[in-house]
């Protein structure tokens, strides 16, 4: 019974919450060994890059939050 509860909780959290590591930020650290595009601000990117020898750039694949269209936005 516990097994089913654990499986159900994992399935619900995956389906409802999405994957946390799948989210991309607007800034990336590019280093020789890796690339990480999970930084929400330029300052956070610079702080992470300073310890790795990498550099920061804007994420070319980042799409920001989209606001829902209102009905009167058409014209």
- Show me where the domains of the chain are located: 21-61
Residue pLDDT, tens place only, 51-74:
788 999 999 888 877 767 666 655
Identify the CA nearest to 27 among candidates 2, 9, 49, 5.
49
| Rounded average pLDDT over 11-16 | 60
What burial class does residue 73 get, using C-beta atoms within 10 Å of its C-beta: 0-12 exposed, 13-18 middle, 19+ buried?
A: exposed
Sheet holding 35-39, edge to edge: 35-39, 27-30, 55-58
Which helix H or strand E contains 39, and what residues bound it? strand 35-39
Token pair of 54 as six digits: 């990498």
Residue pLDDT, tens place only, 24-49:
889 999 998 889 998 999 999 999 99
DSSP secondary structure letter of residue 41: S
DSSP secondary structure letter of residue 10: H
Token pair of 49 as six digits: 């890059």
pLDDT given for residue 53 in this prediction: 85
């Amino acid at each position: 019974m516990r097994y089913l509860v654990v499986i159900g909780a994992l399935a619900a959290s995956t389906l409802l919450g999405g994957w946390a590591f799948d989210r991309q930020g607007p800034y990336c650290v590019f280093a020789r060994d890796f690339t990480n595009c999970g930084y929400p601000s330029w300052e956070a990117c610079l702080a992470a890059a300073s310890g790795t020898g990498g550099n920061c750039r804007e994420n070319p694949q980042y799409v920001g939050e989209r606001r829902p269209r209102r009905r009167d936005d058409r014209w």
